[in-house]
Chains A and B, each alone.
Chain A
Amino acid sequence: MKIFYKKDGGIVQLIDKEKMKEWSIELPLIFIEYIRNNQLKSYNDPKLKKEIEKYLDEVLTDVAIPGLIEVLDGDNVEEVNKALVRIEELAKKNIEMVKPIKPYVEKLVKKNNKEVKNLSNSIIDKFKKAERKKKLAEKRKIMQEKEKLFLAGNLSGEEYAKARKEYLILKE
């Protein structure tokens, strides 16, 4: 068991990630979600929560994702489908969690199986949306800065209009 120490002298024990390598592919993800949604809030210790979050991320990158990649790279359509359904569910909740799988999902779009193709496309769409959202957030930050400069008279009307146009195009 992996041991985490609480501020009050108590401890939290979580199953070692090595043991999870023998699990079926969807289980490590179910475990991560379960601990995040049900247990984390009960620990009442921000430092401990952070350490456990870090451990769950390790479980994701060292166990869950490699397990999924192995399946996605294989020829078992049923298993690939099962894995894609789980990835799609996860992508809806937190796209960053499944980012390392993106190249493997992109390869699956070219497959002949309709279900595999549809699920892969749906996941790729989510990646695209997430990327756009990220870019928009960055641009919004720049735009706010430019607005301040323009109002202070430190930016020409032409330059401000150009930046505004770029931002609106991305937003649409």
Chain B
Amino acid sequence: MSSKTESKKWNMEAAKKLFQEYLKKSIEEKKKEVKLPENTVQIDNLNRQQTLERIYKLTDSLIDMIYENGRPSIKLPSRASANIIWDEENDLLLLGQQIMEKQFHSLGSVADMTRLMKVLEKVNELLIKDMHATKREIFYSSVQLFGDQKNSDKCIEDVATMLYTTRNSTHIVASAKGSCIGRLRIRDRNDIIDLEGLGSGGWTISPMLDNIEILESDAEFILVLEKDAAMIRLSEARFWRKYPCIILTAKGAADIATRMFLKRISKELQLPVFTLVDSDPYGHYIHSVYLRGSKRLSYESPFLATPDIKLLGVLTRDLEKYKIPNDCTIPMNQTDIKRTKEMLNEDFVKKNKAWETDLKLALKLKVKAEIQALSTFGFEFLTDQYIPEKLSTGDWI
């Protein structure tokens, strides 16, 4: 094993410049007045009280309908992709005019409506008690009524939509697996948590993000790692002490809570975000999920996606640049090739020429490599040279 690590302190010039640009942009944006396009309604992240108020308003309107004609109904905005408008410039989720009406008195919809009202009742209970539940718990609150978790899951999404809010605002949360470490102090209800002082494991990202508030940070960028192994390396090197940053990982595919937390910290602190993933189609896909969100959850994408995220590495071009030995790379199999071709067909890849070029290079070389391949130059290479050099020179996509 040869050591290529140079013992110097990189100035992170390119990353700092990007951060200054973001700060400037954010000050200018604060002065701008946001105007919603006609015939659209905004989807908001609400606090507990605001969500409860929307529930009361909805139930009041149902009672009024019962008194007026005895035929109550619920108007539900369509979650079809054609009705979802993401105003990327203002980072707002809007719903169009496609509305579905669900009748209480029709035999066809009685089961659906009962389930929907059951979920609404559970959401109301959670909000009043200031508690949170998972989708699975909601299903188990009335197994006979829901029959299958698919039915309760659908009702959960419907309740969020009819209240024009996100699922997290209804206190129904997804389980979390991510962790975070670095120059950040947060509040979880009445506890102040220092993310520098939690040992090498860091803080387990809470799915109850409505309880979390950012208090203080002197970080200058955020680093998102695909793998826990890379997190251990950076954590052991106390990377954030030398280079002020916040590091997080979802330990593989990006879960909702990790994406939502990343979105929160990057938006509130105006920090540039970089991903470090394996140099393979799956790593690129993980980066794309952080960037755009997954297709399944397009309704909540604006609350989950980080559109400005940069792909720091490991890029295919890095394999040549850093002369990664052949025995540290892996030949691509047919599935890898198929997935790379699929990635090349995505609009967001087509729009990003550097990304497209890198994926095409991967197809040409037919090789992939894990982040750990960099340790062929020594365990410190990742923390002392690879990441700092790329952040200093602006070598990202």
Contacts and interface: CB of A to CB of B under 8 A. Distances in A.
Interface string A1-22: 1010010011111110001000
B23 A12 contact: no
B192 A13 contact: no
A10 B244 contact: yes
A30 interface: yes
B216 A13 contact: yes
Residue in A15, A38, A43 whose Cβ sees the most chain B Cβ within 10 Å: A15
Contact of A13 (B16, B190, B213, B269): B269
Contacts of A14: 215-216
A34 interface: yes
Contacts of B190: 24, 26-27, 30
B192 A9 contact: no
Interface in B217-269: 217-218, 220, 244, 268-269
A24 B214 CA distance: 16
Contact of B185 (A6, A19, A26, A39): A39
A4 B220 CA distance: 13
Looking at chain A's contact residues, the main secondary structure is mixed
Contacts of A127: none
Contacts of B336: none
B218 A15 contact: no
Contacts of B23: 3, 11
A167 interface: no
Interface residues of B, number: 18
A35 interface: yes
Contact of A35 (B216, B244, B270): B216
B213 A12 contact: no
A9 to B, nearest CB: 7
Interface string B165-200: 000000000000000000001010010101000000
A6 B244 CA distance: 13
Given A1-B268, A3-B23, A19-B213, A12 B192 contact: no
Nearest to B13: A9
A10 B216 contact: no
B21 to A, nearest CB: 13
A10 B268 CA distance: 17
B215 A6 contact: no
Contacts of A13: 214, 216-218, 269
Interface in B1-40: 16, 23
Contact of B214 (A3, A11, A12, A15): A15
B16 A31 contact: no
B147 to A, nearest CB: 41
Given A13-B269, A19-B213, A39-B185, A6 B218 contact: yes
Interface in B345-388: none
B218 A10 contact: yes
Contact of B216 (A9, A12, A19, A30): A12
A24 B191 CA distance: 12
Nearest to B219: A13
B220 A10 contact: yes
Contacts of B268: 1
Given A6-B218, A10-B220, 9 more contacts: A1-B269, A1-B270, A9-B16, A15-B214, A19-B213, A24-B190, A31-B192, A39-B185, A43-B218
Closest 3 CB pairs of A and B: A12-B218, A15-B215, A34-B192
11 contacts: A1-B269, A1-B270, A10-B244, A11-B23, A11-B218, A13-B214, A13-B269, A24-B190, A26-B190, A27-B187, A39-B216
